[in-house]
Amino acid sequence: MLNRALRIVGLVLLAALMYVGFTRQPGPAAEDGKIHISYWEKWTGFEGEAMRAVVEEFNRRQDRIHVDMLTISQVDNKLLLSTAGGVPPDVVGLWNSNLSSFADKKVLLPLDDYLERAGISREDYIPAYYDLCEYEGVMYALPSAPASHGLHWNKRLFRETGLDPERPPRTMEELDAYSERLTKRDESGHLILMGFLPTEPGWWNWAWGCYFGGRLWNGEDTITIDSPANVRGYEWVESYAERYGVTSLQLFQSGFGNFSSPQNAFLSGKVAMVLQGVWMSNFIDKYAPGMEWGAAPFPYPADSPELAEVASVEADVLCIPVGARHREEAFEFIRFVNSQEGMELLCMGQGKHTPLAEVSEEFLAEHPNPYIEVFIDVAKRSRTFSNPKTPLWSEYLSEMNAAFDEIWLGEASAEEALGRVRARVQQKLDRHLEQKALREERP
């Protein structure tokens, strides 16, 4: 009954989408003798234009396939509905965080046979990015634009405070000391500059324990969020709220503008250091031209030098939905995007590094991000991490965001809040694994 209801809802929604023009109407272009494949992508702005340039290059260099790229908001939700309705696109651009859930729901086509025939393997990629596309031993995607994360710092503010602008903090202890030195208050005692804030931009509330050696689960059946390493990470987060005062920090943060604006806390000089991705240089160039800044690996605990190898990564990915009409042609397009030429065209346009093991000298020399090699090196580290590969990730993330708020506001200790997360998510994971085992037992 549920599948039938989803199919009906999907058909109704897709009919509505077609009516308002979200899907491409048949016309003269469909009569050009080419196989037209539909490609749904979430990107807008310069990121969307960068991929359109790749699509145009693919369409130009051969006369058999034509890719029709369409920008779709909430592409993940609409893919689920279109697949249930039996009318998915041929190619879809998702986030790596979608893969586990979508693969578990049988929404995505396994690509292993296609990769084998094409001679594509893990050795062709920075391993961390290839691994993001795998779920339970099966490849369901290939990367498009990847991203690694690092510390960004304002060199002018370093210089004005007497810090070496070319020497970022390397350990967590140095980060704390630099932050204390950079932080300023006005005559009324109100914060006007913070050296560093674990809540800015607030996109990786789930990840702080990983920088202290923690992991969110064992990769199979056990949630480990309340391990000693994770607790230590969130006690470190809590120390900022205790040191500077939650009320003072809330008042200070109320003056922050939108991320994509000159009023961004880092771009406007209100926060001197921030954890951000390789894409940040695009926003610096657009909203704070002339800003003196640097990028480096994120600091690690001084008593754990092996954690200097820890770094977070993520990726946009290209998938073929189950039910796609033109699977071979869809993979041919994905293969072109993952060629050195296609990938460098895309990632140069988006200001990111490529996921490929081989990169041209021209790409590095002409790249607009002066620290692009920092982000490549970070991605190649031996202890990269991303969100857990579990279909329950969205629920886990919600629990982590709630726990983070409790810790930050002083409503619970890190050990208490993370213990509750472990108990809740473990119960959900146990239930999921039981149901999965039952499904697999059915003939």
The reported pLDDT for the residue numbered 4 is: 47
pTM for the model stands at: 0.92
pLDDT per residue of the chain (443 residues) written in tens, 0 to 9: 444 444 444 444 444 444 334 444 333 445 788 999 999 999 999 999 999 999 999 999 999 999 999 999 999 999 999 999 999 999 999 999 999 999 999 999 999 999 999 999 999 999 999 999 999 999 999 999 999 999 999 999 999 999 999 999 999 999 999 999 999 999 999 999 999 999 999 999 999 999 999 999 999 999 999 999 999 999 999 999 999 999 999 999 999 999 999 999 999 999 999 999 999 999 999 999 999 999 999 999 999 999 998 999 999 999 999 999 999 999 999 999 999 999 999 999 999 999 999 999 999 999 999 999 999 999 999 899 999 999 999 999 999 999 999 999 999 999 999 999 999 999 999 999 999 888 887 76
The reported pLDDT for the residue numbered 216 is: 98
Please state the three-class secondary structure of the chain as a single string: CHHHHHHHHHHHHHHHHHHHCCCCCCCHHHHCCCEEEEEEECCCHHHHHHHHHHHHHHHHHCCCEEEEEEECCCHHHHHHHHHHCCCCCCEEEEEHHHHHHHHHCCCECCCHHHHHHHCCCHHHECHHHHHCCEECCEECCEEEEEEEEEEEEEHHHHHHHCCCCCCCCCEHHHHHHHHHHHCEECCCCCEEEEEECCCCCCCCCCCHHHHHCCCCECCCCCECCCCHHHHHHHHHHHHHHHHHCHHHHHHHHCCCCCCCCCCCCCCCCCEEEEEEECCHHHHHHHHCCCCCEEEECCCECCCCHHHHHEEEEEEEEEECECCCCCHHHHHHHHHHHCCHHHHHHHHHHHCCCCCECCCCHHHHHHCCCCCHHHHHHHHCCCEEECCCCCCCHHHHHHHHHHHHHHHHCCCCCHHHHHHHHHHHHHHHHHHHHHHHHHHHHCC
Tell me how far apart the alpha carbons of residues 260 and 303 are, in angstroms, rounded to a whole number: 37
The reported pLDDT for the residue numbered 24 is: 41
Q: Are 164 and 300 in contact (CB under 8 A)?
A: no
Q: How far is CA 351 from CA 48, 58, 173, 376, 430, in A?
A: 12, 20, 31, 12, 41
Where do we find the tokens 């060629």?
339
Q: Are 274 and 152 in contact (CB under 8 A)?
A: yes
The reported pLDDT for the residue numbered 407 is: 98
Domains of the chain, start order? 2-147+314-385 (3.40.190.10), 149-312+389-431 (3.40.190.10)
CA atoms lying within 13 Å on the CB side of residue 325: 10
